[in-house]
Amino acid sequence: MMDREQDLPMTSVSSTAAVSPWNVPNLLTSIRLLLAVAVIALIAVDWYLWAFVAFVVAASTDWMDGYWARRFGQVTKLGRIFDPFVDKIVICGAFIALVEVSDSSIAAWMAIVVVARELLVTSLRGLIEGAGGDFSASQFGKWKMVLQCVAVGAVLLCLMEIDFSPAMQWLGTALLWIRDISVWGAVLLTVYSGYDYVVAATRIMSTDEPAR
């Protein structure tokens, strides 16, 4: 997911403070937060179809708040914090909720890896950008988010236990393969992107680079 914090250059306090936080981008982000909570609740009661719908809407509309903020000059300090926070709730919340589902193929340690990586990168970004540096998202970080979304979506589809006709059984088998590959791929890319950020942060802090 591409958020306002990651895609935009660092803006001055005066430029962001002049924009009211009560605007369309933050409203859209608030709606995505509600959808994230709905996904977690729907998974808990085994309503996987509606959980899938809510997750797809929350994940696929992530670009809208950032685009609106850039297009109409409505970038705020609240939005720069709120948007990536909601992104993490959407993904981390879904992974944690799916751990409780026995057939999800998502183990507890996988959710721990996802959450730990997000906490680590958020801490590093706050430290570096708080000192005036730039710690924008890398391509690995962006693709990691995409693969995580695919993994959650595939898991939810498999949990629906769709009754395929005999002629379409291959589709069910393919879906299981997509689920397993995307889940493991998401975990591996999560680990690697975290490593990539640590290396970049170490380089910045050791050489006092102004930008990543």
pLDDT along the chain (212 residues), means of 10: 46 49 83 95 96 93 77 75 88 96 94 95 84 75 91 95 80 92 96 92 74 43
Is residue 80 in some structural domain?
yes
> What CATH number did the domain enclosing 63 receive?
1.20.120.1760
What pLDDT is attached to residue 19? Answer: 66
What pLDDT is attached to residue 211? Answer: 44
What pLDDT is attached to residue 208? Answer: 59
Does the pTM of the predicted model rise above 0.75? yes
Is residue 171 in some structural domain?
yes
Token code pair at residue 107 = 């183990």
The tally of domains found in the chain comes to 1
Contact between residue 154 and residue 178 where contact means Cβ atoms under 8 Å apart: yes
Is residue 147 in some structural domain?
yes
Contact between residue 2 and residue 69 where contact means Cβ atoms under 8 Å apart: no
Q: What are phi and psi of 177, to 5 degrees?
A: -65, -45
What pLDDT is attached to residue 64? Answer: 80
Contact between residue 78 and residue 21 where contact means Cβ atoms under 8 Å apart: yes
Per the structure, the complete domain to which residue 134 belongs is given by 4-207
Is residue 212 in some structural domain?
no
What pLDDT is attached to residue 18? Answer: 60
What pLDDT is attached to residue 1? Answer: 52
